[in-house]
């Protein structure tokens, strides 16, 4: 580090001081030279800090400062990847963590990152090292896959760069679970925990909307004797979707919730597929004024024709029930939940944990679950093309 002085005339006596913080390192007097230098021969944690060079005469002092450190800058998390969460298994999920390194050439080469992760609200951090091979380029996007995360829990993630001189500056972010919508459907699960409710949307043609709710955050003036007292898992903090049937709602009014559009991957390139999917969900219908819960299947290109999948009505008690239905879509499709208001205010209907998995449902689920709940389960084989052809053949000609 070099500190140069511009002399004035007449020449005054000048002295200098080098300090690291408040520690005096060197002092002296300018003779014929117009600068002073201070070397750091071996960089270590003890040498990090702000070095001040002060030039002093009888009128006062001038100062120049140097920040010396071997610590790497903090990494910067990348938030723009669309839906970086993907499905792994029913109870766990994975997350594609992405970041760039701020000013990677400012210090010695980053050899690794220390990754810390903990469940939101917990104290203990679990740590591991992510090795880095070669030099990181400025703007380079680095990816690391986090696995075995428990649905639908949120996690704090801490990332610290490491050089041969030690730890750099850390950065922290929170990751939250949101159900993915895969380009080709293999598995889908939604517990309505994320902000965008798994890309479900409200139908613009109905009378009122479904509402995201949890027992812990619901209005204290809620209608008693109807609606869930926890989400499907038993958590009072967990969320679900429900229809609020108190005034000004009227009997027969409908609220419709539309799923994202799911694409299926044809197995036969020369014709449609008959891939089976097991569609399941939990529903809650408690109250003396419970109306009707309907589920429809809408295929791509059918904006007005909706195929009934499942229906249930009446009071089912203060409990969550589960429904399973096989579907056989031949093209992209949507699922529609339709709640119909009953004759009074004690008629709240709720749904939670909507799942779609490739393959047919287990037979015991199809036969026992619906019969116990009193629901009308309809096994729908959606092979509409042959049906449409048959109707056209039987129609009388003019």
Q: Evaluate if residue 262 carries a pLDDT over 70.
A: yes
Q: Evaluate if residue 348 carries a pLDDT over 90.
A: yes
pLDDT of 145 reads 85
231-235, 278-282, 385-389: range with lowest mean pLDDT: 385-389
pLDDT of 35 reads 85
Q: Evaluate if residue 318 carries a pLDDT over 90.
A: yes
The mean pLDDT value for 54-60 works out to 84
The pLDDT tens digits for 27-51 are: 988 877 788 899 988 777 788 889 9
175-184, 246-255, 344-353: range with lowest mean pLDDT: 175-184
pLDDT of 372 reads 35
Nearest to 355 by CA among 239, 190, 184, 149: 190
Dist. CA 281–CA 259, nearest whole Å:
13
Nearest to 106 by CA among 63, 56, 165, 157: 165
Contact indicator for 280, 321 with CB cutoff of 8 Å: no
Q: Which residues of 156-176 are buried (b: 16+ CB within 10 A; e: fewer)?
A: bbebbbbbebeebeebeeebe
Measured CA to CA in angstroms, residue 162 lies from 105, 113, 319 at distances of: 13, 6, 52
As a residue count, the chain comes to: 398
DSSP character string of 155-207: EEEEEEEEETTEE---EEEEE-------SS-SEEEE-S-STTGGG-EE-TTSS
Alpha carbon 16 to its chain's center: 57
Q: Evaluate if residue 316 carries a pLDDT over 80.
A: yes
Query: How would residue 315 be classed by pLDDT, with cut points 50, 70 and 90?
Result: very high
Classified by CATH at the fold level, domain 75-176 comes out as Immunoglobulin-like (2.60.40)
Q: Evaluate if residue 8 carries a pLDDT over 80.
A: no
The mean pLDDT value for 274-297 works out to 92
Query: How would residue 79 be classed by pLDDT, with cut points 50, 70 and 90?
Result: confident
Q: Evaluate if residue 391 carries a pLDDT over 50.
A: no
The mean pLDDT value for 329-348 works out to 91
* Cα end-to-end distance, the chain, whole Å: 99
pLDDT of 236 reads 87
Query: How would residue 125 be classed by pLDDT, with cut points 50, 70 and 90?
Result: very high
Q: What are phi and psi of 367, to 5 degrees?
A: -90, -35
What percent of the chain clears pLDDT 70, i.e. is strictly above it? 81
The pLDDT tens digits for 205-247 are: 899 999 999 888 777 667 788 999 999 988 888 899 999 999 8
Burial of 190 (0-12, 13-18, 19+ CB in 10 A): buried
Nearest to 210 by CA among 317, 338, 309, 312: 338
164, two tokens: 């041969």
Residue with tokens 């922290």: 172
Dist. CA 3–CA 19, nearest whole Å:
13
Query: How would residue 376 be classed by pLDDT, with cut points 50, 70 and 90?
Result: very low
pLDDT of 306 reads 86
Q: What are phi and psi of 391, to 5 degrees?
A: -60, -40
Dist. CA 186–CA 262, nearest whole Å:
10
List Cβ<8 Å contacts ≥24 apart for 90-94: 90/189, 90/355, 91/150, 91/151, 92/147, 92/148, 92/149, 92/150, 92/151, 93/149, 93/151, 93/177, 94/145, 94/146, 94/147, 94/148, 94/149
Same fold, 2-68 and 75-176: yes
The pLDDT tens digits for 80-102 are: 554 455 554 567 777 888 899 99
**Percent helix / strand / coil, the chain, rounded to 5:** 5, 40, 50
Measured CA to CA in angstroms, residue 92 lies from 80, 82, 153 at distances of: 23, 20, 9
Query: How would residue 374 be classed by pLDDT, with cut points 50, 70 and 90?
Result: very low
The residue extents of the domains of the chain are 2-68, 75-176, 182-358
The mean pLDDT value for 277-292 works out to 94
- Kindly report the average pLDDT of the chain as a whole number: 81
Dist. CA 157–CA 147, nearest whole Å:
13
The pLDDT tens digits for 99-118 are: 999 989 888 889 999 999 99
DSSP three-state, residue 392:
helix
The mean pLDDT value for 189-199 works out to 83
pLDDT of 302 reads 57
DSSP three-state, residue 384:
helix
Tell me 366's DSSP state.
Answer: I
Query: How would residue 304 be classed by pLDDT, with cut points 50, 70 and 90?
Result: low
pLDDT of 398 reads 39
pLDDT of 385 reads 41
Q: Evaluate if residue 276 carries a pLDDT over 70.
A: yes
Tell me 208's DSSP state.
Answer: B
Classified by CATH at the fold level, domain 182-358 comes out as Jelly Rolls (2.60.120)
Classified by CATH at the fold level, domain 2-68 comes out as Immunoglobulin-like (2.60.40)
């Amino acid at each position: 580090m070099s500190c140069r002085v511009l002399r004035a005339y007449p020449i005054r006596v000048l002295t200098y001081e080098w300090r690291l913080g408040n520690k005096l390192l060197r002092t002296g007097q300018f003779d014929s030279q117009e600068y002073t230098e201070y070397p750091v021969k071996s960089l270590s944690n003890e040498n990090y800090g702000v070095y001040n060079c002060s030039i002093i005469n009888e009128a006062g002092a001038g100062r120049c400062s140097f920040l010396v450190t071997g610590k790497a800058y903090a990494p910067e998390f990348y938030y723009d990847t669309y839906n970086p969460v993907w499905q792994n298994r029913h109870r766990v999920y994975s997350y594609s963590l992405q970041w760039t390194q701020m000013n990677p050439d400012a210090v010695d080469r980053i050899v690794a990152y220390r990754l810390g992760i903990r469940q939101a609200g917990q104290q203990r951090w679990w740590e591991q090292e992510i090795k880095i091979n070669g030099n990181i380029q400025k703007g380079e996007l680095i990816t690391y896959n986090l696995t075995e995360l428990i649905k639908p829990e949120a996690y704090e993630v801490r990332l610290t760069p490491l050089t041969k001189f030690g730890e750099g500056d850390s950065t922290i972010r929170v990751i939250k679970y949101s159900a993915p919508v895969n380009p080709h459907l293999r598995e889908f699960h939604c517990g309505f925990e994320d902000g965008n409710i798994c890309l479900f949307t409200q139908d613009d043609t109905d009378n009122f909307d479904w509402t995201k709710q949890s027992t812990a955050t619901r209005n204290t003036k809620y209608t008693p004797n109807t609606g869930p007292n926890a989400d499907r898992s038993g958590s009072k903090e967990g969320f679900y979707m429900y229809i609020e049937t108190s005034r000004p709602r009227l009997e027969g009014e409908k609220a419709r919730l539309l799923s994202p559009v799911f694409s299926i991957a044809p197995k036969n390139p020369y014709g449609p597929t008959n891939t089976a999917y097991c569609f399941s969900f939990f529903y809650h219908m408690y109250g003396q004024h419970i109306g009707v819960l309907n589920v429809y299947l809408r295929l791509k290109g059918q904006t007005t024709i909706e195929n009934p999948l499942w229906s249930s009505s009446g009071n089912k008690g203060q409990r969550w029930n589960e429904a399973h239905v096989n579907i056989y879509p031949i093209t992209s499709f949507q699922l529609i939940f339709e709640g119909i208001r009953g004759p009074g205010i004690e008629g709240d209907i709720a749904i939670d944990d909507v799942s779609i998995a490739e393959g047919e449902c287990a037979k015991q689920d199809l036969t026992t679950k619906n019969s116990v709940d009193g629901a009308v389960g309809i096994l729908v084989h959606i092979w509409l093309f042959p049906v449409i052809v048959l109707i056209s053949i039987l129609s009388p000609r003019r």
